[in-house]
Amino acid sequence: MSRLVMKFGGTSVADIERIRNVARHVKRETDAGHEVAVVVSAMSGKTNELVGWCREAGALHDAREYDAVVASGEQVTAGLLAIVLQDMGVTARSWQGWQLPILTSNAHAAARIEDINGTELIKRFKERKEVAVIAGFQGIHKETGRITTLGRGGSDTSAVAVAAAIQADRCDIYTDVDGVYTTDPRVVPKAKRLDKVAFEEMLELASLGAKVLQVRSVELGMVHKVRIFVRSSFDKPEDIDPKSNHPPGTLICDEEDIVEQQVVTGIAFSKDEAQISIRRVQDKPGIAASIFGPLAAANVNVDMIVQNVSGDGATTDLTFTVPASDYQRSMDVIGKAKAEIGYEKVDGAQDVAKVSVIGIGMRSHAGVAAEAFRALASRNINIRAITTSEIKFSVLIDAEYTELAVRTLHALYGLDK
Amino acid sequence: MSRLVMKFGGTSVADIERIRNVARHVKRETDAGHEVAVVVSAMSGKTNELVGWCREAGALHDAREYDAVVASGEQVTAGLLAIVLQDMGVTARSWQGWQLPILTSNAHAAARIEDINGTELIKRFKERKEVAVIAGFQGIHKETGRITTLGRGGSDTSAVAVAAAIQADRCDIYTDVDGVYTTDPRVVPKAKRLDKVAFEEMLELASLGAKVLQVRSVELGMVHKVRIFVRSSFDKPEDIDPKSNHPPGTLICDEEDIVEQQVVTGIAFSKDEAQISIRRVQDKPGIAASIFGPLAAANVNVDMIVQNVSGDGATTDLTFTVPASDYQRSMDVIGKAKAEIGYEKVDGAQDVAKVSVIGIGMRSHAGVAAEAFRALASRNINIRAITTSEIKFSVLIDAEYTELAVRTLHALYGLDK
């Protein structure tokens, strides 16, 4: 017997027929004797509808009221799933964030979970064999007693937090893909589903666009050692992957649980990038702050930052990337701050892409990046900028070469096999 | 300065534009210096959508889950109205049933309000000039901590209960009609809006089909002496009725507050009736129970009951009415219970209507009913059965004469003027 959290996203609960499908997944686990807590999102489209109304109601709306409105979506799904489960003969009850309670910070619309007491749920597992159906994405602030939401994708985080609270053996995230891939299969048809990914790798993959799991949920899993299994809600229950003897999916787990460590785990890329280079900036303390301070104040999310060691000892070039949609705004901000920053000129490029190679194995393998630079050069792909970290490196290239670069690197590191 | 409760139904909050109109009504009252609590229903259509999903999820669904799902509709409207009010510069916050809390019985989907503590709301009126926007139709059961709903139309009851809790001077029910009429204006174009109706009269008018207010809310208003003012949410704020020096509407109040008492206040009617007559029932104790017990067990709502004094001292005829939709089921129930009841035969009629004349003044005026019988006879309208109470009498007639009967009685009692 295991204790499981099962999380289902909006497309998996889009209508009653799909909710019935979700209930079949749950019943399969309870029939197998497992103790189950289910975390659900709002029916797909519902959150957008609710958010749309809030915006229509007031441009600068009170986030506390926004949360009260938007949290209703998950409340509906939780109740409906409990009804369907009962209809199938499974004992179940719904829990809203304030009922459990899921205590959060006071940062409405972007709250962080602070505490969940799992005692009552565990007691009900034991005494009543009752499935807990929990509304994801929401909580309550202890002092104000008002409903909070965790921000978009927050149900993943709810699920992992519940799993930590009830000491679950695993947190199954049912989604519309069947796991995490070595890269986007639309670009590289030979992309393979990863059986296991380390938390650290998943953090890099997710923030770079693998978009399977909310970053915060992976962080939470890493801290609380919650094994997260990403799998498809459209699988037939009887589907078993002959290789792993599990249903198809990807386990996100501790580095130590991955026996056969690959050097490179995956290739991520992002096309919606723009590059801005500030030329001949004075190379003196505080200069980075004078550039990135105004950008942060303008809510621009700066990604790669490359600063070379000054050649002449007095000035240097500084390159960074921003989301393509923020390009013009960023240029304006830098232009306005010219006197303060002190630079010769600014140039930029909009048709650029970032390609990243991720793998925990890089830590102990030298020359991984060098191989990539060589392979890209052999394809005549010019590298505009490079950043590296312990378990990943990224290159900025012209966008038109994105697919070629991804395919080249995917093959280079043996991910095609 | 007054303290007001303002209640808006589903059609008044059907979209953001209409919610903005509601907010204008609220702002008018706060601008005039009044302390305001607003009670809102779900956007029209939403409750039906939610109920439909519950039914689709499971035929015999858990009423606790049903309540959790269905209560979300009012939660959304309350949050949206708070946002719109803030956007107009009115300090406001939303309250869900469990937040206030509105404590109810445990009868899910048909709960009764047991207690509302108005202290916090009054404190906020005084300290922050904050408008309370309260989700109608819902509450929480103290012991289980689960959401309850009051049943259809429950928002009226929420409003009157809140008014009692905060000792409001008046409870304004904004609806899609501008008050309570002497009869249905579609039948009698000369029907007049009543300026004032006594609680007792309104109870009879409402249960007979005036359908303006939920019966339970009128009962509650009568017990707690809450003056209820029914008015249109589509009025322009500047509309003032020259006769009453108030906006157009009907005040439902204590009998003593009505100075010019009419003998007859209104004519109600109901066409969805069926008549069942049981012939030559044995006239002995317990016979009524043997008939109406099985009907109650079958959930048939029996309305008029007429039993004549036995002529032969041994048997009698017994006539009663049921909703037309329950006719066949009722006949079956009576048929099955024939041996137990002991009667000669049963006959019935489906095309019948009940017309009722209501007025507190009848108590002190003799011959009011007799005038009606004469007037109906002069029109050749046959009376199948008669029941009377202190402040109303009803006649059962062939349905095809309904409009003629209503018009005749409306004129007879001077309501056309």
Structural domains of chain A, with CATH = 3-256 (3.40.1160.10), 266-412 (3.30.2130.10)
Contact B87 A58 (CB under 8 A): yes
Distance CA B189, CA A352 (A): 73
The pLDDT score that the predictor gives to residue A238 is 61
pLDDT band at A395 (very low <50, low <70, confident <90, very high): very high
Contacts of B220 by beta carbon, 8 Å cutoff, 6+ apart: B113, B157, B160, B161, B164, B226
The pLDDT score that the predictor gives to residue A40 is 98
Contact A79 B68 (CB under 8 A): yes
- Tell whether B66 is within 8 A of chain A (Cβ): yes
Token pair belonging to B16? 């953001």
Distance CA B416, CA B400 (A): 22
The CB density around residue B201, as the number of other CB atoms within 10 Å, is: 26
pLDDT in tens, A104-134: 999 999 999 999 999 999 999 999 999 999 9
The pLDDT score that the predictor gives to residue A245 is 66
The burial class, CB within 10 Å (0-12 / 13-18 / 19+), for A112 is: middle
* Residue given tokens 């997260």 in the structure block: A228
E strands, A300-358, are 305-307, 315-323, 345-358
End-to-end Cα, chain B, rounded Å: 36
The pLDDT score that the predictor gives to residue B234 is 77
Residue of chain B with shortest Cα separation from A14: B53
Do residues B309 and B356 lie in contact, with contact meaning Cβ atoms separated by under 8 Å?
no
Q: B142: helix, coil or strand?
A: coil
> In a structure prediction context, what are the per-residue pLDDT tens digits for chain B, which is 417 residues long?
899 999 999 999 999 999 999 999 999 999 999 999 999 999 999 999 999 999 999 988 899 999 999 999 999 999 999 999 999 999 999 999 999 999 999 999 999 999 999 999 999 999 999 999 999 999 999 999 999 999 777 999 999 999 999 999 999 999 888 889 999 988 999 999 999 999 999 998 876 655 788 889 999 999 999 999 999 887 765 666 666 667 889 999 999 888 777 899 999 999 889 999 999 988 888 888 889 999 999 889 898 999 877 777 788 889 999 999 999 999 999 999 998 888 999 999 999 999 999 999 888 888 899 999 999 999 999 999 999 988 999 999 999 999 999 999 999 999 998
Instruction: Return the ∠ at Cα B189 (arms to B187 and B193), rounded to 5°.
Output: 105
Residue A399 has pLDDT above 90, yes or no: yes
Task: Name the DSSP letter for residue B322.
Answer: E
What is the radius of gyration, based on Cα positions, of chain A? 24
**Which residue type is seen at B223?**
V
CA distances (Å), origin B136, targets A181, B41, B160, B258, B327: 48, 6, 10, 30, 35
Best B65, B66, B134, B138 residue to mutate vs chain A (most A CBs within 10 Å)? B65
At residue A7, φ and ψ (nearest 5 deg) are -115, 130
Residue with more model confidence, B413 or A286? B413
Across the strands, what pairs with B355? B269, B395
Region A385-408: mean pLDDT is 94
Distance CA A43, CA B413 (A): 56
Residue A261 has pLDDT above 80, yes or no: no
Chain B residues near residue A50 by CB distance under 8 angstroms:
76
Region A25-32: mean pLDDT is 96
Best A69, A95, A98, A146 residue to mutate vs chain B (most B CBs within 10 Å)? A69
Contact B68 A75 (CB under 8 A): yes
Contact A86 B99 (CB under 8 A): no
The CB density around residue B409, as the number of other CB atoms within 10 Å, is: 24
Region A281-305: mean pLDDT is 88
Residue of chain A with shortest Cα separation from B100: A145
Of B62, B83, B99, which is closest to A57 when you measure between CB atoms?
Answer: B83
* Residue count of chain A: 417
Predicted-complex ipTM score: 0.83
The pLDDT score that the predictor gives to residue A364 is 84
- Contacts with B, A 90-109, CB within 8 Å: 93-94, 96, 98-99
CA distances (Å), origin A32, targets A2, A3, A22, A127, A349: 9, 11, 16, 17, 56
Region A140-154: mean pLDDT is 91
Residue of chain A with shortest Cα separation from B51: A80
pLDDT > 70 in chain A, percent: 97
The pLDDT score that the predictor gives to residue B237 is 58
Token pair belonging to B376? 């109906």
Residue of chain A with shortest Cα separation from B133: A65
pLDDT in tens, A68-114: 999 999 999 999 999 999 999 999 999 999 999 999 999 999 999 99
